[in-house]
Each structure stands twice: as C-alpha cells, then as structure tokens.
Structure 1
Amino acid sequence: MMAAAVAPQKRAGSAASPRADHLYPVDIKGEKPEVLEEDAHSYYTKILEEPSSAVEFLSIPGRGKVKLESPLMHFLPLYKESSKHKLLVLIDPQDKNTVLAIYLHSSWWLIEDVVKTADHSREGLKQVQTFEERIVLFVLNVIIFGMLERSLTHDVLFVPHSEKEFAKIFWRSGGAAAFYTVKVKGSLCDGYSSQCYMLPVLDTMFVRKKFRRGGVVCQRFLETHPEEQSRLWEVEAPGDWSQRVSIWLKIQMEQKLQKKSDVSCYMKRLQNDEPGQSDEGRMSQKVARSPNKALPYEAEEFKDDPEEVFNPEPYSEEYAEKHQAHKQQWKGSKKRASQGEPSEDRISKQFRATS
C-alpha cells in the first residue's frame, strides 16, 4: 500500500483557495497533546503487529518511496527536562541522523510542511504559546538546525528547549524562518547552582539558510536601531559586567579585520605581479610619462601622420613654414620609401622626438 506525502488538511466549510482552505499542523488546534501522543503510539503498535505484506510507503519529493517500517520509526522527547510528550518521527534509511517526517494528526507530515502555516496573521515575530508552535520550535531547533542545516564544522548544538522556555518564531511568507529564546532576568542559570541571570539574555538563535542575509540577523538589527547598540552584550552566566562584551564592538572589530585582510591580499597580489607586469600595468606607466618626452617606439606608432607627433615648440609663422617644409619633405621621403629608397628624414624626425 502506498502512503503519499500528506497534503495540507482542508478547513471545513471554507472556499477552495490553496492558502485559505488548507491547514498545516501548526494551524490545527483543538486536540490535546496527550491525545496526539496516544494516537502516535497506537499507529506505531499497529505497524509492529501488521504482517510485512501490508507495509506502506511514504513518497518523498526528490527521493522516491521510503518504506514505513518500525526500524525507521523513533520517539523523540519534545522537551529537555521531561519525557511526557514525545513525537514519532521517520528516519532516513540512508542517513540515520536525518528525520524525514513526523506523525501528527493521524498522518505523516514532511519536515518542510511542519514549519509552514496557512494563517495570514502569523507573520513576523510571534511568541511561542500553543503546543503546535512548540512542535515547530522543536523542528527548527533539533531537526532543521541540528540535523539538516548545521555545518559539520559547527561545534554548537542546541538541546531541546524547556516546556516553559520563552521563545519567539520569526514567520515569513507562510513559513518559519528563524527563532530565538530568552532567559529572563532572575531565572536560574542552570539546574546545578543558585545563580540567576542579572539581565535578560538572548540564549539561542537560529536563522534558516534560505532566509539569511535578508535583514533577520543581529548586525542588520543594530544598524537599523542604533539606539540599541550600547544595550546588546555577549555574556556568560550570570551576566555580570566583567562577563559582558559589546556585540556592536565585536561586529566593528570583525569588519576592520576583514578590511585589513582584504588590503593585505591586494598588496600581496601587487607584489606577485611586479616581476612580470601585466599589460594594464605597462599601459598605466606609459600614461604616467611626461608628454614632452616620447620614446622611439611611441614616435614609430605615429609614423603614418607626422602631425600627431607631439612638438613642444611654440607656434609662429617661421615654425609654420618650417613645419610645412618638413611635411613636404616627409611626403617625398615616404614616396621614395615606397619605391625602395632609404628615408633619412624618418631617422632625423625620430631623433628630434626623443631628444
């Protein structure tokens, strides 16, 4: 039996509009978390008890069919401290560290559909309040960041958030683009000491790759709101003054270091080019020379028209007569040269131009 990738569920009694009459998991309300989890356990038990002939397949765009069998299904805890709520997920058979889908509301939902919404009012920063929004936060944090989009060299890995964690999701164009969580002032730093945060702390933050460099991240915020530049700090718990570093200062220092690195690379390229200069370099040297001095090869370039060879002598009638005589003489020498006779005038004119 084939189980296709689940289409968004229709809203009862609504018009036939793709964005208005379909719901994604975050839009479906009314079912208690315990009911959703019980439904997932019932489905999993059924998979374990059914004979192999009745196994289903899930269609994955760009991947084909994935067999819905118990070895590929796991329950993941939704919250950090508690295991009372778990999600049934389908693991990629080719990569055991990748989740392909989540079982919600009696259906398998692809990861990209779990973080979508059909609610037009869900746009911009919205505080996480409902259980369904907690699932979106979990997917962004544990699955998309932790498994799909985290760099292999990235040494940061967020654990699942607490059930009461203060968090906001940034929604854009019908999808969850980013999230951040905040430790409020006075909350415990950890479960092992009595230390409390001395100021509100932005604890975790993640922006999906396709939404980066689009005005969502910290630098753009501080550039847009300069009044906040002195108020945002990078801190270590509990956030005492000695543990704070200005984020705006760090951004400025990184930019200066980048500019310094760019200049250093540019100077290095210039040094590497010096032994054998490029044509562009030679042309710039030629342009920089004094126009009162022309090299032999430059006079040679203008041999077809002697009037274009630069002459610094001031204009006078005597000069005009002399110039006309030279011109007539040049034409005669050019005619003799075309007949195979040597031209003395060409040599004398070149010498005059370079002396």
Structure 2
Amino acid sequence: MYPVDLPALVDTDLTSASEEYLSSLESRPDDNEWFQLSQTSKVAITANHVRRLQLFEDDQPDCPLLALHPPDDPQVVALYLHEKWWHVDDVLRTSSNSRIGLISVQSLTERVIVFLLSQVVERSSHEKMLFSLHPRTESCKLLWRDGQAVGFYTIKHKGSLCDGWSGRCYLLPALDTVLVRRSWRRRGLGLQMLADFCSSFSTAQFLGVSSPLSPSMVAVCRSFLQQHEEHLEHLYEVEAPGGWTQRRNIWLSIQLGRYSLGINESNPTSGEKQRYEDDSSQKTYNCRVDPTSLTSCNVNTYPAIGSSVQQMKACDPSRGGSSQSSKISGTGCSPAAHTDDLDSGPPTRPPPSLNTKHTLKSNPSPYAESHEEKPEGTQSSAKRVRRS
C-alpha cells in the first residue's frame, strides 16, 4: 500500500511526528541510516540532508513536511509520512482500483500529492517556482490514471476570498490552476479537466479561467469551445475578483488575435500543429517564499510547460486599473474591483465580447481547423494540458 491508501493523516499528527523525528535525527550519532534510491544509489539520512517544507500558503498553524535530498542537490527524493520515508514516486501512487479519473481532494495526503505535483516533481532545474503555494482549504481535483496521480486542477468558488487581506470575494467560479505531468501530455487530459470544471458548474451563468492564460491553455480553451458552442458566451478570462471590468470573453479574444500561441498562425507546420494541440499547464505566480528552496522569487513572466515560451500580449484597453500583481497572479485582487459588482448579468450595454456566436460563424479562426482536437478514443499515438 502507498501513503494515500493508509489511514488519513491529521495535521497535528504529521506535525508532532515530524518534529520528534527531526529532533532525534539531530541528536543521533554519526552512524547514519540510508535511504535506498535504486540498486546503485542511496542517500544518507542525516540532519544535513533533511529539511522542513512549508505545505500550505500562510501556514497557520504550521504543518511541516520533512523532505530528504542528496548532498549538494536540492531535489527532493523522499518524504517522511506515517513515520517512515517514502520515495516521491510512491507518494504519487495508489493501490486502490477506485482511484481513477478526477476525484476531489479530501485528505491531507492528497494535498501532499498536489504539493508534490505543483512544487517538486514537475519543476525544471531552471525554474524557481512552478506554482505558488495553495491554501489548505483550496478546492482541488486530482486526476488519477493507471494507479498514479498525473495531474490536478484547482477552483476558486464564487464567494470565496481572493486573498487574506482585502476581504474581496470572487464573483464567479474560476478555474485557477491546471497541471498535467509532462509524461502524460498530448492525451486530451487538459481538455478533460476543463470540461469537468464547466460541467461541475452547469447552472452558473458565467465561468472564469484565471488570467493570464498560458499559450497551451489558450489552445485547450479553443478546442473546447469549438466542441461546445453553448459555452462561447459564458467562458471568460478573469482577474480576481472577476467584475465586468476584470473579465473578457475567451472566444472573442481568440478570434481577435489577442493571444499568442508562439506559432506561425497563417501556415503552421505539422510539428507546430502537434505542439499546441493538447494538454496545457495553466500557471499563476505571486512573489512569495519558495517552499523547496526557502528563497524569495521575483516572477515577471509565466513560462508554459512543455513548449517554447512566448509571453502572451493582451491588447485590451478595457482592463485598465489592475495592479501589477493582479496581472501576474490569477488570484490577486485588483484595486479596480468593487464590492457591489454583481454577477447577475452584463452591464446595461453588453460588451462586444458577448456577441460571439456571430463571430464564430462570420470570422472563423485562421488556424482553428489545424488545432481541432480529436476525441480521446480516436487520437493517434502522438497525442496531447497553474498560484499560489
């Protein structure tokens, strides 16, 4: 059995067990224990090779997670859970046949898995931060395939707080972060998660995807909207808290060329078609403490995972008044928002972004056909998905 299959952990139990183990480790003599990474490599379990990781954003009360790393290498290779060391790959696995597809995160161990996916296992060596930390109460769903966690997405519910200091609340449900592991991309999983999000809020009049959208997330949204025209006038890119001055229709923005996919849209090559056809990672950043390095970050761009990076340029003058932090983070509150903003309907004169069905028919995307994603069951072998 794997950690996620064992009895549920409690915050206080994890904290006390971690502190007791670390204390005993610091007083232990030089005869070290070893953690076997493979048949040919192992890591000494010493106080110098173990560090405490912050599991949640603004973690109060503290919930430390002990991580083991090789000497002179910050890469985490094992976690201390249930009073023993587990290889990171084993923490991401399950022996339960019932864990398949998208399942809501409930237990502390499942939140540890979200932490690993967002902060550790998918982080490139040149990236200081993949996502910023999530709150301990963040609404998440893990995607399980073949006995392992292969991705997740998080949601900001309507009425939930944008942050811990302003008192502003989201005015519509928003898909906040999305990640699919690199080895599982090009299989339509990003499209599956976006569809699951929309179906989970089928009665909501408007739905949001946190800004900024990565190029690959734009491709996923375009493919989804081409298949689900009923959402053309309901899916918006939003900055928190999502008032009408902080949202814009995604399909109209695609038609107007407001997003860059980093490809030659007039005549994409076959390789370029393949590259953005499928799974994206939608990321949001804040300047916060990196839990795995405990150093400050200063993020000014948002690279897309698994693709050549090119920052999107949004040329929408209606989005004035937003703070710089709200442009970087999909969850930062904009000072332009007002508490009396309502989500009951558009302004008296609807913005042009609502008239999208006519746009779809009269001004089709010059590259819509080349990026249209086939159903999951009919894709060829080369198939194709974000806070803190």
Same fold (TM over 0.5): yes
Given the alignment, which residue of 31, 36, 50 partners 2:14?
36
Unaligned runs of 5+ in 2: 192-219, 270-388
Q: Greater strand percent: which structure?
A: 1
**CA contact 1:185–1:200 (8 Å) conserved in 2:** yes
Q: TM-score by structure 2 length?
A: 0.55
Partner of 1:244: 247
Within 5 Å, which residues of 2 pair with 1:188-207?
Answer: 188-207=161-180
**CA contact 2:171–2:242 (8 Å) conserved in 1:** yes
Q: Does 1:46 align with 2:53?
A: no
Distance 1:236 1:118, change over 3 A: same
- Percent sequence identity over matched residues? 38
Partner of 1:85: 63
| 3-state SS, counterpart of residue 99 of structure 1 | coil
Q: Does 1:235 align with 2:208?
A: no
Q: Greater helix percent: which structure?
A: 1
Given the alignment, which residue of 125, 128, 133 partners 2:105?
128
Q: Which amino acid aligns with 2:64?
A: K
**Take 1:84 and 1:78, find their aligned partners in 2: how far apart are those partners?**
9
**Take 1:202 and 1:180, find their aligned partners in 2: how far apart are those partners?**
7
**Take 1:241 and 1:257, find their aligned partners in 2: how far apart are those partners?**
31
Could you list the per-position Cα deviations for residues 309-346 of structure 1 after superposition, in whole angstroms to 9, with x for gaps in the alignment? xxxxxxxxxxxxxxxxxxxxxxxxxxxxxxxxxxxxxx
Q: How many residues align?
A: 235
| 3-state SS, counterpart of residue 80 of structure 1 | coil
Larger relative contact order (CA 8 Å, sep ≥ 6):
2
Given the alignment, which residue of 262, 265, 269 partners 1:259?
265
Within 5 Å, which residues of 2 pair with 1:329-344?
Answer: none
Shift of 1:212: 1.1
**Take 1:245 and 1:150, find their aligned partners in 2: how far apart are those partners?**
32
**CA contact 1:57–1:65 (8 Å) conserved in 2:** yes
Q: Does 1:210 align with 2:216?
A: no
Within 5 Å, which residues of 2 pair with 1:4-153?
Answer: 23-53=1-31, 55-61=32-38, 64-82=41-59, 83-96=61-74, 98-145=75-122, 149-150=123-124, 152=126
**Take 1:107 and 1:66, find their aligned partners in 2: how far apart are those partners?**
15
Q: Which amino acid aligns with 2:37?
A: I
Q: TM-score by structure 1 length?
A: 0.60
Distance 1:210 1:256, change over 3 A: closer
Partner of 2:280: none
Distance 1:224 1:119, change over 3 A: farther
Shift of 1:67: 1.2
Q: Which amino acid aligns with 1:124?
A: G
Q: Which amino acid aligns with 1:205?
A: V
Shift of 1:27: 0.8
Unaligned runs of 5+ in 1: 1-22, 264-355
Partner of 2:357: none
**CA contact 2:8–2:109 (8 Å) conserved in 1:** no
**CA contact 1:183–1:203 (8 Å) conserved in 2:** yes
**CA contact 1:187–1:197 (8 Å) conserved in 2:** yes
Q: Which amino acid aligns with 1:104?
A: L
Within 5 Å, which residues of 2 pair with 1:148-159?
Answer: 149-150=123-124, 152=126, 157-159=130-132
**CA contact 2:155–2:174 (8 Å) conserved in 1:** yes
Shift of 1:142: 1.8
**Take 1:255 and 1:194, find their aligned partners in 2: how far apart are those partners?**
35
Q: Which amino acid aligns with 1:194?
A: G
Shift of 1:245: 3.0
Could you list the per-position Cα deviations for residues 213-263 of structure 1 after superposition, in whole angstroms to 9, with x for gaps in the alignment? 111114154455443343222111121233223334555645796332548
Shift of 1:192: 2.7
**CA contact 1:215–1:221 (8 Å) conserved in 2:** no
Distance 1:133 1:221, change over 3 A: farther
| 3-state SS, counterpart of residue 109 of structure 2 | helix
Q: Which amino acid aligns with 1:206?
A: L
**CA contact 1:170–1:179 (8 Å) conserved in 2:** yes
Residue range with higher mean Cα deviation, 228-237 or 247-256: 247-256
Residue range with higher mean Cα deviation, 107-116 or 225-234: 225-234
**CA contact 2:237–2:247 (8 Å) conserved in 1:** yes
Greater gyration radius: 1
| 3-state SS, counterpart of residue 38 of structure 1 | helix
Shift of 1:30: 4.6
Shift of 1:89: 0.7
